[in-house]
Amino acid sequence: MRNLEQCKAEVLRRSENRIKERRKKRRQVVAWCVPLVLCMTVFLGIMLPSMGEKAKSAEWDYLDGAMTENGYVCDYQEVVIQDSGGSSRNVTSPEEVAELYEAIYALDPSIGTGQRETVGTVDPEAPIYGNEERTGRAITFFRTDGGSISYILEGNVLYNLTWNLEIPLTQEQAAELRAALGIEE
Amino acid sequence: MDNGASSYRRFLDGEESAFDEIMKELFYGLVFFIDRYVQDTQAAEDIAIDAFADLIVHRHKYNFKVTLKTYLYMVGRSRALDYLKRRKETEVLSLAENIEDAKSLEEMVLADERKRAINLALQKLPEDMGLAVHLIYLEGMTYKDAARIMKKSPKQVDNLLYRGKKELRILLGEDGEGFQ
């Protein structure tokens, strides 16, 4: 049997060894973790922007128009403005189409809010004047890929026919929209 | 007497010599206690050394809620049981080659002749009963501390002690008459 001094020396020796062992383990963990974190950072740095791009482009498709920092990018090429009598006016100038879209864009809350998800889809081929109660002006934006979005401006209400939305306008907004569309009361 | 807690506090504050005091006060008692489980003085010493090394390595594991002695005995018991499990698994039984060691350890821890007689009689008692008597009569612990170490309730310890005393009176014969 060892005497107390020997036992004490043994206690100190073992505790030192264990402390060294713990430090070694900690260093190993750090040695593994640092490169791992770096790798993850690089991986995420590569992956996240591309995922962001994907999401952004998906959003653009969804919104029928791509937003930019300063506003939006209009990808419509033609606008048909039609009255209930059947006479219509085609707008094909890119600047004018963009202007019209901007005027609508500012009023339609469904654009860019994701609200469209909550409303049903409408057959784009269906006649604009299917509902006889609506007698205002029909405004249809046509995209290069054939897609379209249709509105009816009736008094102070703008109907988004594509998404079945009723957008009440103020007197002022309705007047501004009429002016942009070149419609006289 | 706080069974080493104040010395350990001083050790944590950087006074290295306080650890010597703890060793001096508690080491052989712990070996003696562990030996009751493992029946191998060298193994008991080894386990006790590990328990003390734990005090240095894991400095803040002991939270001063129990006495340091109780804490060390709890660690010692748990390590002794682990050792027994390992020994059972490997079936390597180093039977008491160290009777001399056991004898000298007993003399070191139990200076009183009467306590040695009790210790001898304890070998014949069931393990839990012997342990309860050991902790309360030989180590002078409270029922609460003994219960903590044995992982039993104070009531269970009380029952074990009552039955242990009864058995010891029979085993010690006339000497046991005065055993309270």
Note the pLDDT of residue A23.
Answer: 93
Strand, coil or helix: what is B67? Answer: coil
Note the pLDDT of residue A134.
Answer: 63
Which chain A residues have a beta carbon less than 8 Å from that of B24? 4
Nearest-by-Cβ selection for A14 from B19, B20, B53: B53
Binary contact (A22, B28; C-beta < 8 A): no
For the question of whether the overall pTM of this predicted structure is more than 0.90, the answer is no
If we measure between CA atoms, which residue out of B140, B133, B126 comes closest to residue B161?
B133
If we measure between CA atoms, which residue out of B77, B129, B139 comes closest to residue B121?
B129
Note the pLDDT of residue A70.
Answer: 45
**Angstrom distance (rounded) from CA A148 to CA B132:** 89
If we measure between CA atoms, which residue out of B16, B8, B45, B142 comes closest to residue A7?
B45
In degrees and rounded to multiples of 5, residue A87 shows phi and psi of: -75, 140
Binary contact (B52, A2; C-beta < 8 A): no
Binary contact (A1, B98; C-beta < 8 A): yes
**Angstrom distance (rounded) from CA A175 to CA B168:** 109
Sign for the CA dihedral angle at B59, B65, B69, B75 comes to: negative
Cα distance from A2 to chain B (closest Cα, Å)?
Answer: 8
Which chain B residues have a beta carbon less than 8 Å from that of A19? 56-57
Neighbours of B134 (CB within 10 A): 20
Note the pLDDT of residue A30.
Answer: 92
A19 touches chain B (CB under 8 A): yes
B11 touches chain A (CB under 8 A): no
pLDDT tens for A149-175 read 888 888 888 888 877 888 888 888 888
pLDDT tens for B83-112 read 998 886 655 545 545 666 677 777 767 767
**Angstrom distance (rounded) from CA B180 to CA B169:** 9
Structure tokens at A118: 């909550």
B1 touches chain A (CB under 8 A): no
Cα distance from A7 to chain B (closest Cα, Å)?
Answer: 7
A14 touches chain B (CB under 8 A): yes
Note the pLDDT of residue A68.
Answer: 43
Residue numbers of chain A with a pLDDT score lower than 50: 64-66, 68-70, 114-124, 129-130
Which stretch of A159-163, B111-115, B126-130, B166-170 has the lowest confidence by average pLDDT?
B111-115
Binary contact (A15, B56; C-beta < 8 A): yes
Note the pLDDT of residue A58.
Answer: 57
Binary contact (A18, B101; C-beta < 8 A): no
Note the pLDDT of residue B177.
Answer: 53
B111 touches chain A (CB under 8 A): no
Note the pLDDT of residue A119.
Answer: 38
**Angstrom distance (rounded) from CA B71 to CA B51:** 10
Q: Is the pLDDT of residue B176 over 70?
A: no
Residue B74 banded pLDDT, cuts 50, 70, 90: very high
pLDDT tens for B34-63 read 998 888 888 999 999 999 999 899 888 888
B8 touches chain A (CB under 8 A): no
Write b or e for each residue in A102-118: b if 16 or more Cβ atoms lie within 10 A of its Cβ, otherwise e: ebbbebbebbeeeebee
Give the number of beta-carbon pairs within 8 Å between A and B: 39
**Angstrom distance (rounded) from CA A128 to CA A142:** 14
Neighbours of B20 (CB within 10 A): 15
Nearest-by-Cβ selection for A15 from B45, B48, B57: B57
Structure tokens at B50: 């590990």
Where does residue A167 rank: exposed (0-12), middle (13-18), buried (19+ CB within 10 A)? middle
Note the pLDDT of residue B170.
Answer: 86
Q: Which residue of A has its CA nearest to B19?
A: A8
Note the pLDDT of residue B87.
Answer: 82
Binary contact (A7, B24; C-beta < 8 A): no
